[in-house]
Chain A
Amino acid sequence: MRTPFERTALEHGAVVWRVCRGLLPQHDAEDAWSETFLAALGAWERLDPAADVRAWLITIAHRKAIDVLRVRARTAIPTDEPPERESPLGRPGSRDLDLWNALAALPSKQRVAVVHHHLGGLPFAEVARLTGTTETAARKAASDGVGRLRTLLEEDR
C-alpha cells in the first residue's frame, strides 16, 4: 500500500472499534484496537494496494481478540464468556451497553458471526474463512445470534 496510513487505515477506526468491543469487554477491546492498528502500521507497506483495507483490519482485530481471549482463558477460571465487568446489571438508558452485554451473552460462535457480519460488514464467506467454518454455518450462526440478541434485548426493555 502506498497511500498514507492515517487516511486510508484510520478511516476504519470506528468499525474496528465496534468489532473489538463486540468481541471483548471495554478494557480488552481498547488493547485489541491499539494492537490491531500498530500491527497494521507495521505491515502497511507490504499490503497489496488492491486489498480491501477494512476486511484486512478486521482480520487482524479478530486475531488480536482471539489472543486476548486465550490469555484470559489461561489466567482466569474458564468460562464460556467472560462477564462484562464495568456494569453487570447494564446501565438503564444506554442502548449501546445493552448491545455489548447482549453480545457477551451469546454463545461464542454466534457472537463472532454477528460481530463480523453485522458490525464489521464482512460477507459470510469472509466470516467463514476467519472462523474456520463454512459459509452456510457462518450464516446460520449469525442468524441464530441475531434471533437470540433480539430476545435478550426485548427482555431488557
Chain B
Amino acid sequence: MTIPALDTPAVDPGLLERLHARLEAGATGDAAPDVHYRTVDSPLGPLLVAATERGVLRVAFAREGQDAVLDALAERVGPRVLRTPGRLDPVARWLDRYFAGSTDPFAQPLDLRLARGFRLAVLERLRGVPYGTTVSYGTLAAAVEHPKAVRAVGTACATNPLPLLIPCHRVVRSDGTIGAYLGGTAAKERLLALESARGAIRQDPGA
C-alpha cells in the first residue's frame, strides 16, 4: 500500500524511540499503565523486570520467554503494559550493583500480588535470608510452621515471581546439593558462587 512510484517513507528508529519516551513520560497518574517493564542485561542473560505503581512485580529469566511472561502479566494484572526503561532505572541499578558484588538487600517496594497464601508466606520469610547464607527447604518449611511441607516450599521457590530480589537461590537441599532453580541450575550455582566469593556461604540458623 504505497503511492505508486514512491517508497513508503522510512521512519528513523531514533525518532520512534524519542516519541516512545514522550509516551512514557505522559503515561502517569490516571494514564499510568497497569504494568511497566524493561529488560536489564546481566551475567545470567537479559532479565525482564516488570512493576506496577505499587512496586516491582516480576523478574523473569530469558528462558521463561519475554512474550509469554508479558502475556501472563497482561492477563493477570492488566493489558495496559508499557515499556518504561527510565522508570525502572532504580531496579536496574540495584541488579547491576548486585552482580558487581554488592551485598545490599533489595529495599525498594515490591508488589507481591502474584503470590498468595502459603507461597506468599514462604516468600515473605525468604526475604529475610541474608546475603551469602543458604537455608534448606526443610528449614524454611519449619520456619513457616509447616515442617512437613518441604515439597510445597520447593514449589513456592520454583514459582517465585521475583527471583534475585527475593533470594530463592539461597534455598538448597538438605543433602547439600543445590536443587532446582527458575533460571536453571547453572545460574543458581553462579549466584551462590558470587555470594560465597564475598565470604564463605554459611547455613543461616535463624531462617
Q: Contact residues of A with B, CB < 8 Å?
A: 1-7, 10, 13-14, 17-18, 21, 30, 33-34, 37-38, 41-42, 44-45, 95-96, 99-100, 114, 117-119, 121, 146, 149-150, 153
* Chain B residue with Cβ nearest A8: B79
**What is the CB-to-nearest-CB distance from A118 to chain B, in angstroms, rounded to a whole number?**
5
Interface residues of B, count at CB 8 A: 37
Across-interface contacts of A33 in B (CB, < 8 A): 19
Q: Which residues of A contact B10 (CB under 8 A)?
A: 96
Chain B residues, Cβ within 8 Å of A44? 79-80
B positions within 8 Å CB-CB of A: 1-11, 15-16, 18-20, 22-23, 26-27, 30-31, 33, 35, 37, 67, 70-71, 73-75, 78-83
Contacts of B4 in A (CB 8 A): 146
B31 near A13: Cβ-Cβ < 8 Å: no
Known: A4-B74, A6-B81. 16 other contacts (CB 8 A): A2-B79, A3-B79, A6-B37, A6-B70, A7-B70, A13-B16, A18-B8, A18-B9, A41-B33, A41-B80, A42-B80, A44-B79, A99-B6, A146-B3, A149-B6, A150-B5
CA distance A121 to B71 in the complex (A): 28
Closest chain A residue, CB of each to CB of B7: A95
26 chain-A/chain-B pairs, Cβ below 8 angstroms: A1-B79, A3-B79, A4-B35, A4-B71, A4-B81, A5-B33, A5-B81, A6-B37, A7-B81, A13-B19, A13-B20, A17-B16, A18-B9, A34-B19, A34-B26, A38-B26, A38-B31, A41-B27, A41-B80, A44-B80, A95-B9, A118-B3, A119-B1, A119-B2, A119-B9, A149-B6
Q: Which residues of B lie under 8 Å from residue A42 when comparing CB positions?
A: 30-31, 80
Which A residues lie within 8 Å of B5 (CB)?
150
Q: Are A6 and B11 in contact (CB under 8 A)?
A: no
Q: Which residues of A sit under 8 angstroms from B19, Cβ to Cβ?
A: 13, 17, 30, 33-34, 37
Give the residues in chain A near B18, CB-CB below 8 Å.
30
Chain A residue with Cβ nearest B19: A33
> Complex Cα distance A58/B3, Å?
18
Report whether A5 and B3 are in contact in the complex, using a CB–CB cutoff of 8 Å. no
A6, B85: Cα distance in complex, Å: 13
Q: How far is the CA of A33 from the CA of B26 in the complex (A)?
A: 12
